[in-house]
């Protein structure tokens, strides 16, 4: 049984442009780095590419009608930079602006607060060709043109801007989320340099949002980090991991400086970004208003000997438990490891609703900003039954437990504005195509065959509708 949420709580769900829209080459849209990266993954692993995705571009009205049927009062989506400025730069593509204007209007006409993300992994490919995209500081001025334009364009409609999606995940999985030419892929300092460029962009986005009276905040993939044992060495390792994987980002957004211990670690190991004079002033002048949390799992760390080989996060591409390709390792600092206390999804993501309560409590104490959940969900194999239904009780259990954790935190005084799980409808998983699904609405397609992308309400659709209608009490 769920307890009552405030009447103005933002209930909804989330998507991102290249994962859901499709129409990758339509109406003047330019190529994004994801169009390229996904085409490569399509060839390598058979995952769908982003060209059709879930065809939301053509079916957004049908989708928003389904959102309304569920009772959504918010929808988190992202704006594709390449629809607005197909080549980066400053040449506007009016058809792209019109698409988002129509989408925003459709939301508003249906009582749904549109919550756009400015950047969700899809940099214009032209900027990769021009100066290697995020690797170059030049990207900051092009992002500024884009952010300033789009924030102003929709200044009468948007109250909350989500700035940049999951910088920490980009550092971890940089070649999957960001195009990095092969010759740079062993230069790991660049991971943190890219992140620094993104920090500058995110501060600039906050600045323009504030100029038009909107609120802005980053969406970070956030996992709390537990120590593997109660040994003091493991506790320090977990603290190190939490500092480098979490605080290193949040302190920039909410305090305007890099956390000292991880920055020192990066400096000692030749990994620290080049920070120019004035950069931290820019951060301090543009502090974020809220934190958009993407919460899927918790993580675990233990002490790591000095001699170990440095590596970043591995992944599970097969969807068979235990098929992780490796764990992030920083010699003498920490190593990530599985948590033996928790069950996992088929892709080895630890299921931990209590961890979400921990995140809210811990971060509210440290930063005291309002939160909104902009992603939370269970990636699963969803099978259509013979009667054409999806019985996803596993997803219902997962979402319910996380909503309950949210309520427990709110009962202790934590400010949470809304809950937008991943994902509103099935979409292209960044790591597993259409094999792994998250939606409340099933999209009838496979990686191999897009068919007509017909929408089918899952059991979780009907369940979520009841949750919303009862302010979370049902």
Minimum Å distance from CB 315 to ligand BGP? 8
Burial class of residue 36 in the structure, from the number of CB atoms within 10 Å of its CB (0-12 exposed, 13-18 middle, 19+ buried): middle
> For residue 91, how far is the Cα from the chain centroid?
28
Examine the residue annotation and report whether 129 is marked as an active-site residue of this protein.
no
Cβ closest to ligand BGP, residue 114 vs residue 379: 379
Q: Could you say which of 113, 166, 328, 357 is catalytic?
A: 166
168 and 225 Cβ atoms separated by less than 8 Å: no
Residues 6+ apart with CB under 8 A from 257: 251, 280, 283, 284
CA atoms within 13 A on the CB side of 195: 29
CB closer to ligand BGP, 303 vs 378: 378
Name the residue nearer to ligand BGP (CB basis): 170 or 304: 170
Say which of 375, 386, 448, 452 is annotated catalytic.
375
> How buried is 186 (Cβ within 10 angstroms: 0-12 exposed, 13-18 middle, 19+ buried)?
exposed
Give whichever of 353 and 439 is closer to ligand BGP, judged by the CB atom: 439
Question: Is residue 375 annotated as part of the catalytic site, yes or no?
Answer: yes
Task: Report the relative pairing of strands 74-78 and 329-330 from DSSP bridges.
Answer: unpaired
Please give the C-alpha separations between residue 326 and each of 134, 309, 312, 322, in angstroms, as whole numbers: 26, 12, 8, 10
Beta carbon of residue 413, minimum distance to ligand BGP (angstroms, whole number): 28
Place of tokens 């995952």: 47
Q: Cβ closer to ligand BGP: 5 or 398?
A: 398
Angstrom distance (rounded) from CA 438 to CA 376: 9
CB of 224 to ligand BGP, least distance (A): 16
The values of phi and psi at residue 441, to 5°, are: -115, 130
Query: Least Å distance between CB 390 and ligand BGP?
Result: 17
Q: How far is the CB of 4 from ligand BGP (least distance, A)?
A: 29
Nearer to ligand BGP, 47 or 72 (CB): 47
The answer to whether 102 and 2 have CB atoms below 8 angstroms apart is no
CB of 219 to ligand BGP, least distance (A): 7
What residues make contact with ligand BGP under the rule CB under 6 A? 16, 19, 165-166, 169, 221, 294, 375, 379, 422, 429-432, 436
The residues annotated as belonging to the active site are 166, 375
């Amino acid at each position: 049984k769920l307890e009552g949420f405030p009447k103005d709580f933002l209930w909804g769900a989330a998507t991102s442009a290249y994962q859901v829209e499709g129409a990758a080459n339509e109406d003047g849209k330019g190529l994004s780095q994801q169009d390229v990266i996904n085409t490569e993954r399509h060839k390598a692993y058979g995952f769908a590419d982003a060209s059709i995705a879930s065809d939301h571009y053509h079916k957004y009205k049908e989708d928003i009608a389904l959102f309304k049927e569920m009772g959504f009062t918010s929808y988190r989506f992202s704006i594709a930079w390449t629809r607005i400025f197909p080549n980066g730069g400053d040449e506007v593509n009016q058809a792209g602006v019109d698409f988002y204007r129509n989408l925003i209007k459709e939301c508003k006409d249906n009582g749904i607060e549109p919550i756009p993300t400015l950047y969700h992994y899809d940099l214009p490919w032209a900027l990769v060709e021009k100066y290697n995209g995020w690797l170059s500081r030049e990207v900051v001025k092009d992002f500024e043109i884009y952010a300033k334009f789009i924030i102003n364009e929709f200044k009468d409609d948007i109250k909350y801007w989500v700035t940049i999606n999951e910088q920490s995940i980009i550092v971890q999985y940089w070649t999957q989320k960001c195009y990095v030419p092969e010759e740079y892929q062993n230069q790991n300092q660049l991971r943190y340099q890219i992140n620094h460029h993104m920090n500058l962009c995110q501060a600039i986005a906050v600045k323009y949002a504030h100029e038009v009276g909107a609120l802005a905040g980053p969406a970070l993939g956030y996992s709390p980090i537990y120590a593997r044992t109660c040994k003091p060495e493991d506790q320090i390792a977990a603290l190190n991991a939490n500092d480098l994987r979490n605080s290193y980002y949040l302190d920039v957004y909410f305090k305007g400086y890099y956390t000292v211990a991880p920055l020192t670690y990066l400096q000692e190991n030749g990994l620290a970004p080049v920070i120019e004079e004035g950069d931290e002033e820019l951060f301090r002048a543009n502090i974020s208003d809220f934190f958009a949390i993407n919460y899927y799992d918790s993580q675990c760390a233990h002490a790591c000997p000095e001699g170990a080989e440095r590596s970043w996060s591995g992944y599970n591409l097969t969807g068979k438990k235990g098929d992780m390709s490796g764990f992030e390792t920083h010699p003498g600092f920490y190593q990530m490891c599985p948590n033996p206390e928790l069950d996992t999804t088929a892709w080895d993501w630890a299921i931990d609703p209590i961890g979400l309560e921990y995140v809210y409590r811990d971060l509210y104490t440290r930063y005291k900003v309002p939160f909104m959940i902009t992603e939370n969900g269970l990636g699963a194999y969803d099978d259509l039954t013979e009667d054409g239904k999806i019985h996803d009780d596993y997803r219902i259990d997962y979402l319910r437990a996380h909503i309950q954790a949210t309520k427990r935190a709110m009962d202790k005084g934590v400010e949470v504005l809304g809950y937008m799980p991943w994902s509103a409808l099935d979409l292209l998983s960044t790591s597993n195509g259409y094999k792994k699904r998250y939606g409340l609405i099933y999209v009838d397609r496979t990686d191999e065959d897009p068919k007509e992308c017909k929408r089918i309400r899952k059991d979780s659709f009907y369940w979520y509708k009841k949750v919303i209608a009862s302010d979370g009490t049902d």
